[in-house]
Amino acid sequence: TDLLKTLTPDLPRASENNLATRLESALTPERLDLIHKIAEVAAEQHVALYLVGGFVRDLILNRPSLDFDIVVEGDAIALAHALAEKYGGRVTDHSRFGTAKWFLKGSKLQVESLKVANENLPIFLDFITARKEFYARPSALPTVSRGSIKLDLHRRDFTINTLALRLDGRHYGELHDHWGGLADLERGLVRVLHSLSFIDDPTRMLRAIRFEQRFGFELGVRTRQLMDEAHSLLTKLTGQRIRHELDLILDEPRAVEMFSRLAALDLLPAISPVLVPDPELAARLDVALNFPPPSLLGEIPTIAHLNKRRALGYLAWLLPLSVKDLRVLCKRLHFHAALEDALFAARSLCDDLPTLLDAKPSQWTRRLEGIPPLALYAASLCDIDDDLRENIQEYLAKWRNIHPTISGDDLQARGLRPSPRYKEILSQLRAAWIDGEVKNKEEELMLLEKLLEE
């Protein structure tokens, strides 16, 4: 980092590759027109405009990506305001960081896009002034100052994310590769840019695993060594930052492989010492994330406002922990209160399950009601007796949806005054339906008469 501060910005070094044709074929006409219009205004303002990072990486890998990461070698805030003045929309900016956000709602471009193709353009675009970063201490947020595109790319996490595609004027389509990103893409390597990378930002260790497993790449040898030396720094990160990275991992199709890799590299215990080796973790997560019953992700409601896949992933991952260890981890990762409640309810159920082995379906129903279905499904994936697992799944698929045809209104019509007795009678009727003791309305009426006589 100290060396970088002494470097003087130099002219961009463009590779021989030009990705204009690939860019034209990868984007819809409406999004391509948006890029062209931004590039035109950038050229008018005499600033260099780049698409950088994941979009360029995925473009080269022929993987669709709609996220534009725009860097301006010049004044990004002025460019965003010029675009809003010409095409409409709204801009918010942060002069301290040299960043601006252009909201396209109501702009001429958004209106035209909807009219022609019924396609929504991005809600907003971020414009970032090329900058360099300095970390005052490990794990701290960086201090930033204006820099060249080369220095801006050097502050990124891995070489494969340092590729830049220039868009303005005669430079349109130029691929700029200052840090060996293209070669590492070709070799299938995830490699940090310098030896202090994980010290500057320990979350990069979690991101390294995410990219490695997403693309089927490998960690560079030196990158792996640096990770081994720095993994204890994960303990210094806030729980929110770690949870954000874990959320992103759970969103990935190869989340199971990512968690297995985190465990193999001892990164999970570095997050919290309660995350001890769990030989069944991969199998549990695989069933939970890759083979859930369709109804679970469709009809069954999520926990509060939480993403269903993430909630299910956390539940399947953490349920084997003791109540004591769950408390430690929930405090460490600052889970949403609803997820915490679901974890503890499911953990308590797992402890009670042996007492339910000979229980009737209605008794199971009374015990399971109130526990979020996602948590129940996760509990069924734990190391429990097959009969217990089947009963949980029967409750989810069938028992919880069984209710008597008779209602409180029917009881009132029979002259029974409203009282707590209503609840008792309806509960007994429901139990009879669930247990198969009542199979039709006639049998239900017979049972009702008996209960009323009592």
Print pLDDT tens along the chain (454 aa).
Answer: 343 333 334 333 444 588 999 999 999 888 999 999 999 999 999 999 999 999 999 999 998 787 889 999 999 999 999 999 999 999 999 998 899 999 998 888 887 776 665 566 888 999 999 988 776 676 566 677 788 999 999 989 999 999 999 999 999 999 999 999 999 999 999 999 999 999 999 999 999 999 999 999 999 999 999 999 999 999 999 999 999 999 999 999 999 999 999 999 999 999 999 999 999 999 999 999 998 877 666 656 677 778 889 999 999 999 999 999 999 999 999 999 999 999 999 999 999 998 998 999 999 999 999 898 888 988 888 878 889 999 998 998 899 999 999 998 888 888 888 888 889 999 999 999 999 999 999 999 999 999 888 7
First to last CA, the chain: 83
Predicted pLDDT of residue 414? 85
> What pLDDT does residue 108 have?
86
Name the token pair of 400: 């919880």
pLDDT at 67: 84
| Alpha helices, H only, 231-352 | 239-251, 255-264, 267-271, 281-290, 294-297, 308-318, 323-333, 337-352
427 and 402 in contact (C-beta within 8 Å)? no
Whether 56 and 146 map to the same domain: the answer is yes
pTM of the complete model: 0.86
Cα distance between residue 25 and residue 28, in whole Å:
8
Same domain, 414 and 353: no
Q: Which pLDDT belongs to residue 303?
A: 77
| 91 and 156, same domain (yes or no) | yes
User: How far, in whole angstroms, is CA 281 from its chain's centroid?
Assistant: 19
- Total count of residues recorded for the chain: 454
Strands 189-190 and 124-129, by their bridges, are: unpaired
Residues 330 and 434 occupy one common structural domain: no
Specify whether 234 is located in the same domain as 373. no
CA–CA distance, 350 with 378 (Å, rounded to integer): 10
Tokens 């010049």 belong to 74
Sheet with strand 99-103: strands edge to edge: 14-18, 174-176, 164-166, 48-52, 70-73, 124-129, 99-103, 90-94
Cα separation, 314 vs 293, whole angstroms: 17
- Closest C-alpha among 206, 358, 218, 315 to residue 267: 206
CB atoms within 10 A of CB 119: 12
Q: Which residues contact 58 (CB under 8 A, 6 or more apart)?
A: 64, 65
Which of 187, 208, 239 is at the close of a domain? Answer: 187
Q: Domain holding 230: CATH number? A: 1.10.110.30
pLDDT of residue 12: 36
| Whether residues 246 and 302 fall in one domain | no
d(CA 146, CA 129): 7
d(CA 111, CA 131): 33
Amino acid (1-letter code) at residue 175: L
Domain range for 246: 189-271
Domain boundary among 242, 271, 300: 271
Among 187, 211, 239, give the residue marking a domain's end: 187
Same domain, 73 and 133: yes
